[in-house]
Chain A
């Protein structure tokens, strides 16, 4: 909203639309303020300014992570936990900094598999969901297959893919794709189907084609659903790729480095792989959130929360 600073300009004639939801909600949220003299109520309440609190809220995620690692470090040192059981995070970080090339190289392998799997799962889901959204028959025919996939621990498919495709990127990418497929197809279907009845009728009233209704109504409507499933699937794609590397034979990738580390008791490498995977997940999520904020500026989840 491009409203002027309400405190400075708002008088009795101020446009009622100048108040953002947060501002209008404020008086009722703090009962103490309603007991002020009437003269104060004439002015629109100014947005709450509590710089310290805002700073704290902004820094909270960092504080949470630092606290976790701090406690971890403290516990491991204070309780004298054996390094094989749980190394202190400082040691893992030092190891990571010492071996950047190694982890970079294997990260790329895993990222490539996960990315391919993510898009494969997404594409397959979009195609299937599009058919489902347009035809009751397709919907009823496809739903049980989705439930079936959902109830299967799809990780066991990794060895099957190995048999089919051999020692290359495909078994890992496909495992990741299978992981992503279910959340994507369920959300894409909902997004493509649950459109505004009146908007649909409106488009029909000018003989909009199916394709036009898909492109201008169904697809944009499904975007928020797709983004929320994409967050889930970023993690799942990584899980799928790593599982693929562990069970579908591989010589690279962070799943492989972790498995090798485990068999040879390389504590640093095991935890280094774990940390790197976590970092990849976090970065991917941040990128997704940024893209979502740009693309879904219209969506209420973007404007009502700050």
Chain B
């Protein structure tokens, strides 16, 4: 990670730390993208309003963001600051009033139609009538005609299930699995789709702390195997830091990015790093930014 291929994003106060040169890992983000070149997800001045029954909500205000190919970006912020809305805008599930959004070289709507976006919802949302094996392939079966990216093969998806420790449960139904196991299937399912961009909205929030910690490293494992671009929303500071190349801190009313923290830990990330002073420093900086964001 000598050259963090990350574009400028709103970093209020300009106090973002210089990205540290970490021990050179696999060097996954060598592409410079200061001007959005090579960015897989790119937002320019995006604003989004919700006109509800009561006052209109300014859910997103002039968001600028570039995420380069293979990058892992965490998004953290107080409740209601627009994190889910940001994901849904990128995913083409809601529209926006102004600005431009580009995903995989096209508009969110087209990216969605051509199955270039892999969603991981908050709950596992497995289909109870499908076995683990068939649940993992669910997304790749849908709307298959228009998919531009090749989904993983049957063997590859089984291999991913084995990676997350579900090799013995391929033919089990979801109601025979624990919550953590179900969430693992859900993760695998989004990777099997083979989409270049993954959008994850608090996928671990329903899990207990121990399972949750395991899941982080499983996710990193899957990500390392597939090298997808990930936008990951979470409420957990440690989670945001240990997973990401970059942590975006958002503030509410109007929803905006107030701070960008470049995480300089090497890849692959390990549990041991959770005691690393560098890691702890990142955590405390994100925490401070988050406090400030919530206080406004």
- Interchain CB contact under 8 A, B125 and A196: yes
- Interchain CB contact under 8 A, A205 and B91: yes
- Interchain CB contact under 8 A, B143 and A208: yes
- Interchain CB contact under 8 A, A198 and B122: yes
Query: Is A202 on the interface with B (CB-CB < 8 A)?
Result: yes
User: Closest CB-CB distance, A1 to chain B, in whole Å?
Assistant: 6
Complex-state Cα separation, A199 to B138, whole angstroms: 11
User: Which applies to chain A's interface (DSSP): helix, strand, loop or mixed?
Assistant: helix
Complex-state Cα separation, A298 to B134, whole angstroms: 13
Residues 170-224 of B at the A interface (beta carbon under 8 Å): 172-178, 181, 193, 199
Q: Which of B93, B123, B129, B146 contacts A223 (CB 8 A)?
A: B129
- Interchain CB contact under 8 A, B143 and A209: yes
- Interchain CB contact under 8 A, B143 and A199: no
> Contacts A198-B122, A212-B142, A212-B143 given: A204-B93 contact, CB under 8 Å?
yes
B residues contacting the other copy or chain, number (CB 8 A): 33
> Contacts A209-B143, A223-B129 given: A202-B119 contact, CB under 8 Å?
yes
Stretch among B12-20, B109-117, B267-275 lining the A interface = B109-117
- Interchain CB contact under 8 A, A1 and B176: yes
User: Closest CB-CB distance, A292 to chain B, in whole Å?
Assistant: 13
- Interchain CB contact under 8 A, A207 and B178: no
- Interchain CB contact under 8 A, B117 and A199: no
A residues contacting the other copy or chain, number (CB 8 A): 25
Q: Which of B126, B129, B178, B199 contacts A220 (CB 8 A)?
A: B129
Complex-state Cα separation, A27 to B166, whole angstroms: 28
- Interchain CB contact under 8 A, A206 and B143: yes
Nearest B residue to A1, CB-CB:
B176
User: Closest CB-CB distance, A53 to chain B, in whole Å?
Assistant: 26
Query: Is A303 on the interface with B (CB-CB < 8 A)?
Result: yes
Residue-wise, chain B 130-156 has the 8 Å CB interface mask toward A (1 for contact) of 100000001101110010000000000
Nearest A residue to B116, CB-CB:
A206
Query: Is B128 on the interface with A (CB-CB < 8 A)?
Result: yes
Complex-state Cα separation, A298 to B132, whole angstroms: 11
- Interchain CB contact under 8 A, A17 and B178: yes
Which chain A residues border B199 with CB–CB below 8 Å? 205
Nearest A residue to B189, CB-CB:
A202
Which chain A residues border B130 with CB–CB below 8 Å? 298
Query: Is B121 on the interface with A (CB-CB < 8 A)?
Result: yes
Which chain B residues border A298 with CB–CB below 8 Å? 128-130, 173-175
Nearest A residue to B112, CB-CB:
A207
Query: Is A77 on the interface with B (CB-CB < 8 A)?
Result: no
A residues contacting B by CB (< 8 A) are 1, 17, 196, 198-199, 201-209, 212, 216-217, 220, 223, 296-300, 303
Sample (15) of A-B pairs whose CB atoms are under 8 Å apart? A198-B121, A202-B119, A202-B121, A202-B125, A203-B142, A205-B91, A206-B115, A206-B143, A207-B113, A212-B143, A216-B138, A220-B127, A220-B129, A298-B174, A303-B176
